[in-house]
């Protein structure tokens, strides 16, 4: 059994979710209040506006009082991101013996993750920088549920983890690129569809010397850009799931 420190906590890197909550303010200020207000600030003003001082002002508290609940801004962001993860539905393992069912459950999980990132585009600049986010309790609950689905489908635990990581890695990467694109357009004041309608003819002209790219942009660009993004994402996840399912089928035949 691992030794514990004088305050009763396990040794090693302290995680924001396990940090003892202290109540010194009158009225009391809780970690949940801080996280909720930080999420509201991010939603209204974006990641650039988030600071411990500004957050404290919105809570009618001193900036130093926040540090009795969170060690720094990175720890705060880890808590906020995990709060978003807590809104995602967690799949049930029941019925996942059926290939159609487990694929549907994984797809639903991927779609909900994409939707969360699109709804909270500030996450784009956080996910890659705050390493603790994958140690949060809500992310762990989601991961546990995903692993249960994959194990029930017939994957060994290690294989299930690799498969889940492949799907989530693609999902987070694709959603971050997509959210960045949509956010940049919104800041410019341009309509996405109108911008694409103006861009595509220029791209077609620029790709004349590159036959495959030229054919791609003249035959494969959807008329409705938002529907095209949805379709591309779904196709990408299905390509990954096809490979995962083929791997499982091959192992069953060995």
Domain ranges within the chain, ordered by starting residue: 31-85
Task: Return all residues near 212 (Cβ < 8 A) that are at least 6 apart.
Answer: none
Q: Which residues of 18-40 are buried (b: 16+ CB within 10 A; e: fewer)?
A: ebeeeeebeeebebeebbebbbe
Superfamily name with CATH number, domain 31-85: Homeodomain-like (1.10.10.60)
pLDDT for residue 197: 85
80-101 average pLDDT score: 95
Checking if the pLDDT of 196 tops 90, the result is no
Higher pLDDT, 209 or 188: 209
214-241 average pLDDT score: 89
Q: How far apart are CA 83 and CA 26, in angstroms?
A: 25
121-139 average pLDDT score: 83
pLDDT for residue 22: 59
Q: 13, 45, 1: which is closest to 135 by C-alpha?
A: 13
Checking if the pLDDT of 228 tops 70, the result is yes
Do 150 and 99 contact (CB within 8 A), yes or no? no
pLDDT for residue 12: 65
Structure confidence at residue 182 as a pLDDT band (50, 70, 90): confident
Q: How far apart are CA 31 and CA 117, in angstroms?
A: 23
Q: Among residues of the chain, what percentage have pLDDT more than 90?
A: 60
Q: How far apart are CA 44 and CA 23, in angstroms?
A: 28
Number of Cβ atoms within 10 Å of the Cβ of 251: 12
Number of residues in the chain: 254
pTM for the full model?
0.82
Q: What is the pLDDT of residues 21-71, one digit of tens each?
A: 655 544 578 999 999 999 999 999 999 999 999 999 999 988 888 888 888
């Amino acid at each position: 059994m691992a030794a514990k420190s004088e305050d009763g906590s396990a040794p090693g890197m302290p995680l924001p979710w396990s940090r003892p909550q202290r109540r010194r303010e009158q009225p009391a200020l809780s970690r949940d209040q801080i996280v909720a207000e930080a999420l509201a600030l991010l939603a209204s003003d974006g990641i650039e506006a988030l600071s411990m001082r500004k957050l404290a002002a919105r809570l009618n508290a001193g900036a130093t009082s926040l540090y009795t609940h969170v060690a720094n801004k990175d720890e705060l962001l880890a808590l906020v991101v995990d709060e978003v993860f807590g809104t995602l539905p967690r799949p049930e393992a029941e019925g996942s013996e059926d290939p159609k069912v487990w694929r549907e459950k994984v797809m639903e999980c991927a779609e909900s993750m994409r939707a969360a990132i699109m709804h909270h585009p500030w996450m784009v600049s956080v996910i890659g920088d705050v390493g603790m986010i994958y140690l949060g309790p809500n992310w762990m609950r989601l991961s546990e549920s995903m692993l249960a689905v994959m194990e029930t489908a017939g994957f060994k635990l290690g294989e299930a983890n690799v498969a889940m990581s492949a799907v989530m890695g693609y999902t987070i990467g694709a959603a971050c690129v997509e959210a960045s694109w949509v956010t940049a357009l919104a800041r410019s004041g341009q309509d996405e569809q109108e911008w694409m309608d103006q861009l595509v003819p220029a791209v077609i002209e620029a790709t004349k010397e590159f036959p495959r790219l030229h054919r791609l942009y003249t035959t494969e660009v959807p008329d409705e850009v938002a529907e095209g993004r949805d379709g591309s994402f779904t196709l990408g996840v299905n390509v990954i799931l096809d490979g995962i399912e083929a791997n499982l089928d091959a192992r069953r035949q060995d």
